[in-house]
Structure 1
Amino acid sequence: MQIPFNMNRLKDTEIHYPQRFSNLLTKNYGLLFYNEGNKASQESNHAVILDLIGVESSLRDIEFFYKSKGIHPCIYPALTNKELEILTPLLNEHNFTLKIKQSDFFLHDHESSLRESEELKIERIHQLDIDIMETIAIEYGGDWTIRVVERHLTHPSYHFLGGYYQGELATMASVSIFAGYSRVDDVFTREKFRGKGFAGGMIHHLINYHRNISQNYLYLQSDLPSAIKIYEKAGFSRLPKDFQFWVAYKEHN
């Protein structure tokens, strides 16, 4: 029996998911994620301020922590209402670059109208080969993304799926299983394979794959209109929110 949906539980899952591929230091004001083996990855190296009391000293501590490790300081949102009203002036004073993201959460809550592609062979990937690493490095993210996926693959609850067309990787996606909630990520179709329905076929397959291994709520985050159209056809609905997605970072230590 599925537990009732709880937005705060989803937020907590979203905030803590980087712990799967980074280290976590808990402070009295929040969380510090870090991975000294992947310093270029903001996903692997960022702070989340959970307590907005005494933010000035929290920012100083965040800057000191990451600079001492040779990592550019970066802060992700705690996904709370009006946090930016408090943080923005102080982030500006500390010379952080602040970027607002037009992202939304989407929850799978009705049946997909898509179908699987008969031309696509989809399988779970347990180890990255040269072809996959080249695709990720050149087309998807970069070397830092490879390191994220490699560390993620060591966790049994991370399911990385590859879709192959005539033996060549065409599309990919992943789902991470947490307590009550599962997070879709790494959704990407190579440019030369777009327009063939492979992205929709992969998402449709992933939904059925997840249904066979978990009763969790299935969610994702996106700001790409083209991708959102596919997600909505797949049975995902946009969730209302009273917060903003953003990232604050320093390009130079």
Structure 2
Amino acid sequence: MLIDKIINFENNFAEIQSKVIEKPYGKIFYDKDNPLSYDSNHAFIYEDSDYDFAIKDIVDFYKSIAITPRVYTFTRNESTVGQFLESKGFTKSLDEICFFVQKNKKRIDIPQTLQFQRLNHIDETINELLTSDKEQGEWGYKSLLKSIDNRNFYLFGGYAAEELVCIASLYSKNDISRVNDVFTKKDKRGKGYGSQLINFVTDFNEKTLNTISYLYAHNPNAIKIYNKAGYEEITAIVRGCYWLE
């Protein structure tokens, strides 16, 4: 089922930007060069695992590289892993708004003023774009540096008068793809660039990949754009983040 595919995709998504340690109980993702990226530095644990062993192993590993121990959960209901982590002193954060699937591909009604192209390397223009917003900044740039060489990763840039003003990525695997890294330069927002960008990504996916496209979102303004492009919220998946101070 689609829900199970997305959960599996999310459990393994960090593989494009992190080193991976396979464990009997799940996986550990890490990037010592990008400690601020939670997506690059977390573990996941199978629901039927030995939780005590898994948690001790995860905590010991992340402490050995001076990174906060963190576990992500993606489940249909409240995670038993998450409940156990809480009992062991982990702080919990659950996302109220989470995943959206493009069930009906639509073009947003907006004139196209940008030029788009696939970006095959990461340069200073991308760093300048991301650091225009402190919330994204250094960690987002470093994540892209690790992802760009993956053959199933597609990074796109939108240009206004030869200036890079927005980016978005697609990571595809089999018949499913995740839209990520959707970002508009801070002083260029409110001009419709995000809508044009999503139109381009939708067209690329339909003509080149032909996959089921989904994304993670929590910003209300961004969600309005995604809804216009045919993305509908999935209420069946709960995303949890647990960390130990």
TM over 0.5: yes
TM-score by length of 2: 0.91
1:37 to 33, 40, 43: 33
Q: State how 1:167-186 maps to structure 2 within 5 Å.
A: 167-186=162-181
Deviation for aligned residue 1:125 = 0.9
Gaps of 5+ in 2: none
Deviation for aligned residue 1:181 = 0.5
Once the two structures are superposed, residues 57-112 of structure 1 have per-residue CA deviations (whole angstroms, 9 ceiling, x without a partner) of 3211110111112221011013242315x633x43443322112123221112131
After superposition, the Cα gap between the structure-2 partners of 1:115 and 1:206, relative to the gap in structure 1 and judged at 3 Å, is farther
Q: What is the alpha-carbon distance in structure 1 between the residues aligned to residue 214 and residue 41 of structure 2?
A: 23
Gaps of 5+ in 1: none
Q: State how 1:170-249 maps to structure 2 within 5 Å.
A: 170-241=165-236, 243-249=237-243
Deviation for aligned residue 1:121 = 1.0
Q: What is the alpha-carbon distance in structure 2 between the residues aligned to residue 219 and residue 163 of structure 1?
A: 20
SS in 1 for 2:139: helix
SS in 2 for 1:78: strand
After superposition, the Cα gap between the structure-2 partners of 1:27 and 1:122, relative to the gap in structure 1 and judged at 3 Å, is same
SS in 2 for 1:32: strand
Deviation for aligned residue 1:37 = 2.5
Q: What is the alpha-carbon distance in structure 2 between the residues aligned to residue 6 and residue 91 of structure 1?
A: 27
Answering whether residue 120 of structure 2 is matched by residue 129 of structure 1, we say: no
Q: What is the alpha-carbon distance in structure 2 between the residues aligned to residue 63 and residue 117 of structure 1?
A: 51
After superposition, the Cα gap between the structure-2 partners of 1:109 and 1:42, relative to the gap in structure 1 and judged at 3 Å, is same
Q: What is the alpha-carbon distance in structure 1 between the residues aligned to residue 230 and residue 142 of structure 2?
A: 31
1:151 to 128, 146, 149: 146
Q: What is the alpha-carbon distance in structure 2 between the residues aligned to residue 72 and residue 225 of structure 1?
A: 29
Q: Give the equivalent residue in structure 2 for 1:76.
A: 72
Task: For 1:31, give the aligned amino acid.
Answer: K
- RMSD (Å) for aligned C-alpha atoms: 1.9
Q: What is the alpha-carbon distance in structure 2 between the residues aligned to residue 143 and residue 185 of structure 1?
A: 16
Deviation for aligned residue 1:165 = 1.1
Deviation for aligned residue 1:116 = 5.6
After superposition, the Cα gap between the structure-2 partners of 1:53 and 1:158, relative to the gap in structure 1 and judged at 3 Å, is closer
Answering whether residue 85 of structure 2 is matched by residue 91 of structure 1, we say: yes
Q: What is the alpha-carbon distance in structure 1 between the residues aligned to residue 190 and residue 34 of structure 2?
A: 34
| Contact 2:171–2:178 (CA under 8 A) maintained in structure 1 | yes
| Contact 2:74–2:240 (CA under 8 A) maintained in structure 1 | no
SS in 1 for 2:144: helix
- Which deviates the most, 133-142 or 145-154? 133-142
TM-score by length of 1: 0.89
The number of equivalent residue pairs is 244
Q: What is the alpha-carbon distance in structure 2 between the residues aligned to residue 113 and residue 207 of structure 1?
A: 8
Once the two structures are superposed, residues 24-43 of structure 1 have per-residue CA deviations (whole angstroms, 9 ceiling, x without a partner) of 11222211111222222211
| Contact 2:82–2:240 (CA under 8 A) maintained in structure 1 | no
SS in 1 for 2:155: strand
- Which deviates the most, 201-210 or 115-124? 115-124
Q: What is the alpha-carbon distance in structure 2 between the residues aligned to residue 201 and residue 11 of structure 1?
A: 28
- Which deviates the most, 29-38 or 202-211? 29-38
Answering whether residue 15 of structure 2 is matched by residue 19 of structure 1, we say: yes
- Which deviates the most, 149-158 or 187-196? 187-196
| Contact 1:116–1:204 (CA under 8 A) maintained in structure 2 | no
Identical positions, percent: 27
Q: What is the alpha-carbon distance in structure 2 between the residues aligned to residue 213 and residue 87 of structure 1?
A: 38
